[in-house]
């Protein structure tokens, strides 16, 4: 019964004209214009997900080209040519399934057929579905035809995976990308169909059916068929959700209402009902995530949410009503809790318990207090806290000045060999000499390795970035010995004669006694050798961030807010213009 009913509805409501085609107006407009102007390509490629109208469009196009009433964007659908194409019996329109005809033989046969003029129609039309499934040799055979197509032949290719179609074929086709059909458009089409069929079914149920289609009109209509086969001419909401195994949206709305109302009893009651209906708890959680995503998006973008959320009009109205005054950070925390619960359910033997705990936590979540407000409250408290504890402390969120961090005794990597004391001042940050060097050719500052690299940077920035990867094994007035990891790009680069000469020349400019230059190949990590400037930079960064963090943690105002509001320090960042200090989380 199922199969018969499916065929009946799907075939009966297959679009027969471009105006029937839902959600692909960009395609039908272009095709109509091409036919009107008489400039029709030899080959078309229709791409897009399954069930969005590619094959239907191919047949409509075939009819538009071959209709006996004349070539027209609106084929008559009643002449013998049109009717034969609709029935799939036309002698001049060939439908080939690439998935089952992937051999060269079929394409060779096709090339034989192509030679002859159409027997009845204007054009011989080859519709190849799932064209990406053709074998390479079949593609090659097809390509020969596509290169010089006879004027009486048109090709229409359809594919769900255009990236698998060879570029040589793609480049010879006019391409049309079919879109996923929005839920509201599918629901409207289903409404039209059920009204024509005299079936009683609610908009809410049609939305459920449309959602099952997941952007595909064909899948949605076949789901509708299942529903009608089961429910007959009158489909009750309960039957539809039970049949399709989806969670009743009312249950989702009731759950979110209970969370918003902070009603712990009602929250547990909804979980009990989900369980008693025999729904899969994890699936319920997933739908709840989708549901709260809706609230979050509505709060974030207001009315524009309609374009982002694929929901029916009724569902949108419900969400807007419930979204109410809940603030965005709270909604985001709800989502975080749900996502965490969903992950936990995967490996838990107690999915119901996980769901209950997550919802209870949501319903009892303390409200988010913005950091600015915490600071304002703390400022008000200052009078109460003993003077000096807060007022005289330096602001935490200012980054320590560079020289401040450099003046600390920088921790030396363990086990450093004594011989690399030669490059003096190596552990100091390079002073901002780069710009000076760029402005004047005269080297300034100390004659050490960081100074040299900064000097090179002013003249040859690319070359300097290569040198930054090198370890200064020995840097003196007489000798420049730089180590690079053997096999690295940089080492290979330094083997180049011109590059080496460049280094000798720059070395001679910077160091007055024109040191001898040696490039050494290093094996492995060699932790006992001096670090490259590149490595040193990341070490310094990590050290600076940890300094900022411990400073922040030690700051009395931060410590006080962590204690008073039960927060944790989520992260620190250097203060930029207009940015707030450390972020607070629960």
Q: Which residues bind Zn ion (CB under 5 A)?
A: 67, 75-76, 79, 82
CA dist., res. 334 & res. 340, Å (int): 10
Measured from the CB atom, the residue of 82 and 186 that comes closer to Zn ion is 82
Q: What angle do the packed helices 217-231 and 2-12 form, to 10 degrees?
A: 130
Give the burial class of 276: count Cβ atoms within 10 A of its Cβ; 0-12 exposed, 13-18 middle, 19 or more buried.
exposed
* d(C-alpha 424, C-alpha 448), whole Å: 6
Kindly state the smallest distance separating residue 158's Cβ from Zn ion, in Å: 22
Cβ-Cβ contacts under 8 Å for 85 (sequence gap 6 or more): 59, 62, 63, 66, 93
Q: Work out how close the CB of 56 gets to Zn ion at its nearest, in angstroms, rounded to a whole number.
A: 16
Task: Tell me whether residue 51 or residue 75 sits nearer to Zn ion (CB atom).
Answer: 75
Q: Least distance from C-beta 72 to Zn ion, angstroms?
A: 8
Of 76 and 244, the one with the shorter C-beta distance to Zn ion is 76
Sheet holding 471-475, edge to edge: 471-475, 479-485, 516-522
For Zn ion, give the closer residue by CB, 79 or 381.
Answer: 79
Given 3-state DSSP classes, what are the helix, strand and coil percentages for the chain, each rounded to the nearest 5? 55, 10, 35
- In the bound state with Zn ion, the residue whose beta carbon lies nearer, of 75 and 443, is 75
Q: Which lies closer to Zn ion via its Cβ, residue 56 or residue 270?
A: 56
Q: How far is 116 from 84, CA to CA, in rounded Å?
A: 20
- The nearest distance, CB 123 to Zn ion, in angstroms, is 13
- Whole-number minimum distance, CB 86 to Zn ion, in Å? 10
Q: How far is it, in rounded angstroms, from Cα 236 to Cα 248?
A: 12
3-state secondary structure of 519: strand
By beta-carbon proximity to Zn ion, the closer residue of 79 and 562 is 79
State which residue, 16 or 348, has the beta carbon closest to Zn ion: 16
> What's the closest the beta carbon of residue 87 comes to Zn ion, in angstroms?
13
Neighbouring residues of 493: CB distance < 8 A, sequence distance ≥ 6: 466, 499
With contact defined as beta carbons under 8 Å apart, do 239 and 205 qualify?
A: no
Among 512, 550, 432, 416, smallest CA distance to 472 is for 416
Give the nearer residue to Zn ion in terms of CB position, either 79 or 309: 79
* Smallest distance, Zn ion to C-beta of residue 10, A: 22
Shortest distance in whole angstroms from residue 193 CB to Zn ion? 24
- Quick check: helix, strand or coil at residue 109? helix
In whole angstroms, the minimum distance from the beta carbon of 172 to Zn ion comes to: 28
Strands 93-97 and 479-485: unpaired
End-to-end Cα, the chain, rounded Å? 57
Neighbouring C-beta atoms of residue 64, cutoff 10 Å: 22
Instruction: Give the residue with the Cβ less far from Zn ion, 67 or 362.
Output: 67
Whose tokens are 């670090």? That residue is 531
Burial class (CB in 10 A: 0-12, 13-18, 19+), 366: exposed
Least Å from the CB of residue 36 to Zn ion: 16
Tell me how far the alpha carbon of residue 184 is from its chain's centroid: 24
């Amino acid at each position: 019964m199922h199969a018969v009913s499916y065929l009946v509805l799907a075939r009966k409501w297959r679009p027969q004209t471009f105006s029937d085609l839902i959600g692909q107006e960009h395609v039908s407009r272009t095709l109509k214009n091409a036919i009107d102007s008489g400039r029709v390509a030899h080959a078309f490629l229709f791409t897009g997900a399954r069930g969005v109208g590619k094959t239907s469009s191919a047949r409509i196009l075939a009819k538009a080209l071959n209709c006996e009433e004349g070539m027209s964007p609106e084929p008559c659908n009643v002449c013998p040519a049109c009717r034969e194409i609709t029935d799939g019996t036309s002698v001049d329109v060939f439908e080939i399934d690439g998935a089952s005809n992937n051999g060269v033989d079929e394409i060779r046969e096709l090339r034989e057929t192509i030679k002859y003029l159409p027997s009845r129609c204007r054009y011989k039309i080859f519709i190849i579905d799932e064209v990406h499934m053709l074998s390479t040799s079949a593609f090659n055979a097809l390509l020969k035809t596509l290169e010089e197509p006879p004027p009486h032949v048109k090709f229409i290719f359809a594919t769900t995976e255009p990236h698998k179609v060879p570029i040589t074929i793609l480049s010879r086709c006019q391409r049309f990308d079919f879109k996923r059909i929005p839920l509201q458009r599918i629901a409207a089409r289903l409404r039209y169909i059920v009204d024509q069929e005299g079936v009683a079914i609610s908009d809410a149920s049609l939305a459920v059916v449309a959602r099952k289609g997941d952007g595909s009109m064909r899948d949605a209509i076949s789901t509708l068929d299942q529903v009608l086969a089961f429910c007959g001419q009158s489909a009750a909401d309960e039957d539809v959700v039970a049949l399709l195994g989806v969670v009743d949206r009312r249950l989702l709305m009731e759950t979110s209402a209970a969370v918003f109302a902070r009603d712990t009893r009602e929250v547990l009651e909804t979980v009990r009902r989900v369980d008693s209906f025999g729904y899969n708890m994890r699936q319920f959680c997933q739908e709840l995530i989708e549901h709260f995503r809706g609230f979050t998006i509505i709060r974030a973008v207001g009315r524009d949410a309609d374009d982002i959320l694929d929901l029916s009009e009724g569902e949108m109205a419900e969400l807007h009503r419930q979204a109410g005054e809940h603030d965005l950070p709270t909604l985001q925390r709800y989502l975080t809790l749900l996502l965490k619960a969903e992950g936990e359910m995967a490996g838990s033997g107690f999915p119901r318990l996980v769901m209950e705990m997550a919802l209870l936590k949501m319903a009892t979540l303390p409200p988010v207090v913005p950091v600015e407000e915490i600071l304002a409250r703390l400022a008000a408290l200052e009078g109460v806290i003993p003077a000096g504890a807060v007022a005289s402390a330096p602001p935490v969120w200012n980054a320590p000045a560079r020289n401040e961090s450099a003046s600390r005794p920088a921790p030396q990597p363990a086990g450093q060999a004594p011989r690399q004391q030669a490059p003096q001042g190596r552990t100091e940050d390079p002073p901002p000499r780069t710009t000076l060097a760029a402005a004047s050719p005269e080297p300034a500052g100390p004659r050490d390795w960081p100074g040299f690299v900064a000097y090179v940077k002013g003249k040859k920035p690319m070359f300097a970035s290569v040198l930054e990867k090198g370890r200064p094994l020995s840097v003196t007035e007489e000798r420049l010995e730089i180590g690079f990891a053997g096999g690295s790009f940089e080492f290979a680069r330094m083997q180049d004669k011109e590059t080496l000469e460049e280094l000798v020349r720059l070395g001679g400019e910077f160091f007055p006694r024109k040191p001898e230059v040696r490039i050494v190949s290093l094996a492995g990590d060699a932790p006992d050798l001096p670090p490259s400037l590149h490595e040193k930079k990341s070490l310094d960064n990590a050290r600076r961030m940890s300094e900022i963090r411990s400073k922040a943690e030690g700051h009395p105002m931060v410590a006080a807010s962590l204690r008073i509001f039960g927060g944790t320090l989520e992260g620190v960042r250097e203060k930029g213009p207009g940015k707030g200090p450390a972020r607070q989380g629960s």
